[in-house]
Amino acid sequence: MSDKNRLVKSKLLRELYFEEGLTCADLALKVQKSFPLTAKLIEELVSENQVVETGLAPSTGGRRPLTYALQKGEMYLVSVAMDQFVTKIAIMDMQNNFVGPVQKVVLPLPNNPKALSILIEKIKEAIDNSGIEVKKLVGVGIGMPGFVDVKKGVNYSHLHLGNKSITRHISEKIGLQVFIDNDSSLIALAERRFGAARNETNAMVINIGWGVGLGLILNGELFRGHEGFAGEFSHIPLFLNGKLCSCGKMGCLETETSLLLILEKAKAGLEAGRLSMLTSINFDDLEVACDLLIQAVHSGDQFAVELFSKAGYNIGKGLAVLIHLLNPKSIILSGRGSCAGQIWLAPIQQALNEHCIPRLYQSTHMDISTLGLDAELIGAAALVMENFEKSQPALTAQSMGFNVAVN
């Protein structure tokens, strides 16, 4: 049955995307097939020019096994990372390299009925400019803030389209498979697959950005919850500070920690005459201002360090809740704010010391992202590949057979 083998082949390609240099035995384990079958299918993929041999792995005491990787120049991904104001579009290859420059578009999301059509236009443009044949593009992955229902392909916060799925809509316009997810979830996916949470089964990935997002890796997989809204870390009611949050409630975590809050405090402090190397900073462009502030931290500017420390302590208070509830093995600080680096660790640890049962936090390891600002784009690409086998043509539910349909 050729269709069924096609499915296994897709799985093989997917595994090789997530990890290069696997041996036939590794692949057989990962796709849960026998060695002879796996070997046969890999051989076919090699002769189809989808996969190449990459030499021999080190011996473990016997004959050295052949390793495999994806053929270069055969498959590409379209990756889109949106925030409230700016959207980044990239074409990526199977080795997580950007093909051509990453395109930045100023595209405000809130109450912007034109946003969707502009987005589609810009994606088309990016594809055209790349000069890559459409048939070599596997699909489009999009990360965006808001309440995203992955299955329905809907974002309840932005890009409304009545009840229609925006993934289907974009897909129809562009002619490629389209997948969306929440920005923090995609950052977590990127860290899980290629970053600081690689191969972790139990990790909390914190997205320190204009708010504070959370992507949950539970049992090795991205956890999304009943409707896909899991990870609303920003709005857990943790403080009795009477500060009004953007969500309408009071005392949310976000009212005591976020890059936006740090910037506000920096502005207020400087206006009140705080001494700092930042005096001439311009707060109109948030991204630039944030980068400068992080630079100041690295240079040891006392005011900047103080601001980040306070924010860190409050993130730590939130993490104490997470640790109690989910007993994670590791916590990864990612997103834009993670560029500030080690500065976060001490104040967070301080908060854990104060607010956590020792047995719980002692076995939890904290780490800082290695992916930094690219995390969301990489995650959007990974999202497409996570769904790769489903997106392959010629695979109807029936042709996939009894067992597969169960999933």
Give the interface with DNA as residue ranges (CB under 7 A). 1, 4-5, 23-25, 32-37, 39, 56, 58-66, 401-403
State the binding partner of 235 from DNA, a copy of itself, none, CB within 5 to 8 A by kind.
a copy of itself
Q: Can you tell me which residue has the tokens 């009004």?
A: 244
The nearest distance, CB 401 to DNA, in angstroms, is 3
> Does 152 engage in binding with a copy of itself (CB under 8 A)?
no
**Among positions 46, 118, 286, 360, the unique one binding a copy of itself when judged by CB under 8 A:** 360
Closest to a copy of itself by CB, 145 vs 231, is 231
Which residues is 88 bridged to in the sheet?
81, 104
250: alpha, beta or left? (left if phi > 0; alpha if psi -120 to 50):
beta
Helix, strand or coil for residue 346?
helix
Place of tokens 């996570």: 386
Q: Is 212 helix (H, G, I), strand (E, B) or coil?
A: strand
Only one of the segments 53-61, 269-277, 349-357, 380-388 lies at the binding site for a copy of itself (rule: CB under 8 A); that segment is: 349-357
Q: Is 272 in the site for a copy of itself (CB under 8 A)?
A: no
Q: How far is Cα 334 from Cα 322, in angstroms, rounded to an integer?
A: 16
C-alpha distances in angstroms, 181 versus 113, 166, 169, 178, 280? 20, 12, 15, 10, 38
User: Does position 396 bind a copy of itself by CB under 8 A?
Assistant: no
Residue number with CB closer to DNA (106 or 406): 406
Output 281 or 400, the one with its CB closest to a copy of itself. Answer: 400
Query: Which residues make Cβ contacts (< 8 Å) with residue 402, sequence separation at least 6?
Result: none
CB of 21 to DNA, least distance (A): 12
Close Cβ partners of 370 (under 8 Å, ≥ 6 residues apart): 195, 196
- 363 belongs to the binding site for a copy of itself (CB under 8 A): yes
CA distances from 64 to 15, 71, 139 (A): 21, 22, 36
Q: Which is nearer to a copy of itself, 79 or 258 (CB)?
A: 258
Selected range binding a copy of itself among 105-113, 117-125, 231-239, 301-309, rule: CB under 8 A: 231-239
Two tokens at 402?
Answer: 């009894």
Q: Which is nearer to a copy of itself, 17 or 239 (CB)?
A: 239
The residue from 321, 373, 395, 400 that contacts a copy of itself (CB under 8 A) is 321
Choice between 95 and 362, CB closer to a copy of itself = 362
**CA angle, corner 199, sides to 195 and 202, nearest 5?**
100
Helices (H) and strands (E) in the chain, counts: 14, 15
39 binds a copy of itself (CB under 8 A): no
Residue 391 or 399: which CB sits closer to DNA?
399
Contact 146, 111 (CB under 8 A): no
**Interior CA angle at 266 toward 274 and 251, to 5°?**
125
Q: Under DSSP, is residue 218 helix (H, G, I), strand (E, B) or coil?
A: strand
Give the CB-side neighbour count of residue 157, counting CA atoms within 13 A.
18
Cβ proximity to DNA: between 58 and 113 the closer is: 58
- Taking the complex as a whole, how short is the minimal distance between the CB of residue 256 and a copy of itself, in angstroms? 13
Residues that bind a copy of itself (CB under 8 A): 29, 32, 34, 147, 156, 201-202, 214, 216, 218-219, 221, 223-233, 235-238, 240, 247, 249, 317, 320-322, 324-329, 354-357, 359-360, 363-364, 402-403, 406
